[in-house]
A and B are shown apart, each in its own frame.
Chain A
Amino acid sequence: NAGVMQNPRHLVRRRGQEARLRCSPMKGHSHVYWYRQLPEEGLKFMVYLQKENIIDESGMPKERFSAEFPKEGPSILRIQQVVRGDSAAYFCASSPPDRGFGNTIYFGEGSWLTVV
């Protein structure tokens, strides 16, 4: 019973390069979320997706960041032209379809992005 799978666990990129982070939700889960954890801070919501739909992207930076959850395959968080301030841990989470009283949200192990 695999949990939320993220890869890569660690990624180093030079300034100006692109970073792609992948996430496969738990089996049976239709909701995917991305959160960012900056050093010494709590997690901040970025985006909530379902298959082929972005539901809420209120926490996404307006530029350089995008997310998708295609019909087939994992969810992707893409950061273009990375800058040092993008260095953080990026957590993917998933939850099952809503049953009317909220869901438990399970997190992956995180992807640590370092921009040099």
Chain B
Amino acid sequence: AQKVTQAQTEISVVEKEDVTLDCVYETRDTTYYLFWYKQPPSGELVFLIRRNSFDEQNEIIGRYSWNFQKSTSSFNFTITASQVVDSAVYFCALSEGVLTGGGNKLTFGTGTQLKVEL
């Protein structure tokens, strides 16, 4: 069975600090997809990134970067020079392959609450 672990329940940083959110996953499949979503205080879920298991290249989008390491089954998320607007709950999610019909079923971690203070 697939599983996603976000061991950090809550992280507090001061603005402009860098912060890394950890995500460790378990799966038996060789084809799978990893996601990160942001849930700000307003409650909506905002898609940040999707990676497939064949692409281990790290990615940088602005102040956000992701480190995917299959050897350790980790997909960590780093925010550089954090800002107050980054305060949110961040979820890591895993999808194993494709369902009958072409859809994907996501297994979510329990989330990491990030608080960025002035």
Q: Which A residues fall within an 8 A CB radius of B?
A: 31, 33, 35, 41-45, 48, 50, 53, 55-56, 89, 91, 93, 95, 97-98, 100-110, 112
Could you pull out 14 A-B pairs where Cβ atoms are within 8 angstroms? A31-B102, A41-B110, A42-B110, A43-B106, A43-B108, A56-B99, A97-B102, A98-B103, A102-B97, A102-B98, A102-B104, A103-B103, A107-B47, A108-B45
Given that A102-B95, A104-B47 are contacting pairs, would A55 and B106 also be in contact in the complex, using a CB cutoff of 8 Å? no
Q: How far apart are the CA atoms of A112 and B52 in the complex, in Å?
A: 31
How many residue pairs link A and B with beta carbons under 8 A? The number is 84
Is A95 a contact partner of B104 (Cβ separation < 8 A)?
yes
Given contacts A43-B91, A98-B98, A112-B43, contact A48 B107 (CB under 8 A): no
Taken together as a complex, chains A and B put the C-alpha atoms of A106 and B50 apart, in Å, by 11
Chain B contributes a number of interface residues (CB within 8 A of A) equal to 30
A44 touches B108 (CB 8 A): yes
A56 to B, closest residue via Cβ: B99
A109 vs B46: C-alpha distance when bound (angstroms): 9
Interface residues of B (CB under 8 A from A): 4, 33, 35, 37, 42-47, 50, 52, 91, 93, 95, 97-111
Instruction: Give the CA-CA distance A95 to B99 in the complex, in Å.
Output: 12
Interface centre among B45, B47, B98, B111 (most CB of A within 10 A): B45
Determine the distance from Cα of A48 to Cα of B99 in the docked complex, in whole angstroms: 9
Report chain A residues within 8 Å CB of B102. 31, 97-98, 103
Q: Are A103 and B37 in contact (CB under 8 A)?
A: no
